[in-house]
Amino acid sequence: MLNGDDTLDTQAAVRRANLRRALQLVFDDPGAQTRAGIARATGLTAATASSLVAELIDLRLVAEGAQAASTGGKRPTTLSIDADHHLLVVVVIRPTDARIALIALDATEVDTRRVVYTDTTRDRMLDAAVADIAAGYPGRPLVAGVQLPGTTDGRRVFESVQLGWTDVPLADRFEELLGVPVLLVNDVDAEAIAEAAIEDESSGYRLFIHIGTGIGAAVTLDGELAPGPRDRAGEIGHVQVQFGDEARECRCGRSGCLESVASLTAMLGDEFDDAMDAETIATLAAGADDRLLTDGARALARTVKLIAAVLDAAEVAIGGPARALGDRFLALVQAEIDYTATGTVNVPVRYADADAQVATGVAQVALSSALGVRWSPAQLRAASARRV
């Protein structure tokens, strides 16, 4: 809505840029920001700031609130995020189910739904669920973000081993159903963004590892995603890490892949499913074969040690359902990593923050793509608290 080609020096581009600046100021300080505050922060005239705010109100992005305390003249009117109209549609696709969330502009979840399917019914069930959202909230969706396992350029799914998809134009398909722009986001990238989004400060490189039925990685630098030029950064699940008689068969058709030994399916058994709750996973882990957990931890640690040494990573965060493995697995991984290779330093390994909600990362990406603004960590923490 507020994004466009700002490379051309046109009045329209300058106007859009100023609207984004004004809107971000309201997002940074909702309920306290004022027109005068925007003018001061941007260096624009009071008239221009008022004009920008008027347009943002007309667009149903900003709403007027209570009057602030007087500083000697007329009491200014505070500005807040208008959370009563526009919605971000977030679709989190997993192999056996999907979670759909409708998120208001203040990061509040308005509606959540779960769709369960099989390999043969997945496309039909997803399309029906997305169409149902469009019918149930006419005119309110602003943009949609779709999180999924696999490689994507934001428009097409290049390849997803977990979903069995190759070269699927999913964004086009969902756009026809929703009537709004749709952006695809790799699931691990979205989790890494969510992890960074809730932190007040994030410096240096962080290696984020998702472990579930599959394994993927993402790298953030100073809290921002560091993607590769071919949209395939972090695809470590099917890199060979075991050889010879040790190599196990992988569902991709090869042997010795990291995923074949360190995924939760490999360590806990085929009964594991990404949709399981933490308590069920913990129960499975309690009865798991020690050898399988140790082998998985060792293979993961060797992979992490090498990547962390290349990046000079400040830390490693393990996310996804693997958090339910608890201290036992984390200690195994840390023990395998804790040796000082010449010229390197040891890197701490921890589980990702449980408050980084599943939909937060892809919602943040969708918000930025549509409006060019971001939620603050305080807003996201407040929205998370409202969900509890």
pLDDT range class, residue 18, cuts 50, 70, 90: very high
Q: What are phi and psi of 87, to 5 degrees?
A: -130, 140
HSE toward the beta carbon, residue 321, CA cutoff 13 A: 25
CA torsion angle 17 23 27 29 (round to 10):
110
Sheet of 349-351: strands edge to edge? 224-225, 215-221, 205-211, 315-319, 349-351
Residues 6+ apart with CB under 8 A from 178: 89, 130, 133, 134, 141, 144
Task: Look at residue 53 and tell me whether its pLDDT is greater than 80.
Answer: yes
Mean pLDDT of 33-56: 95
Q: What is the pTM of this model?
A: 0.83
The answer regarding whether domain 200-351 maps to CATH 3.30.420.40 reads yes
Q: How does the average pLDDT of the chain come out, rounded?
A: 88
**CATH code given to domain 87-191+357-387:** 3.30.420.40
The pLDDT of residue 314 is 87
Task: Tell me, yes or no, if the two domains 87-191+357-387 and 200-351 fold the same way.
Answer: yes
Name the class of domain 11-81.
mainly alpha
Task: Look at residue 231 and tell me whether its pLDDT is greater than 80.
Answer: no
Mean pLDDT of 206-217: 91
The pLDDT of residue 342 is 73
The pLDDT of residue 252 is 83
- Cβ atoms of 132 and 143 closer than 8 Å: no
pLDDT range class, residue 194, cuts 50, 70, 90: confident
pLDDT tens, residue by residue, 300-332: 999 988 888 888 888 899 998 898 888 989 999
Residue 267, burial from CB neighbour count under 10 angstroms (0-12, 13-18, 19+): buried
Best-predicted range by mean pLDDT (129-133, 150-154, 345-349): 129-133
Return the higher-pLDDT residue of 178 and 243.
178
Residues 6+ apart with CB under 8 A from 195: 206, 208, 220, 317, 319, 352, 353, 356, 361
Q: What size, in residues, is the chain?
A: 388
Q: Where are the domains of the chain?
A: 11-81, 87-191+357-387, 200-351
pLDDT tens, residue by residue, 100-127: 999 999 999 999 999 999 999 999 999 9
The pLDDT of residue 7 is 58
3-state secondary structure of 165: strand
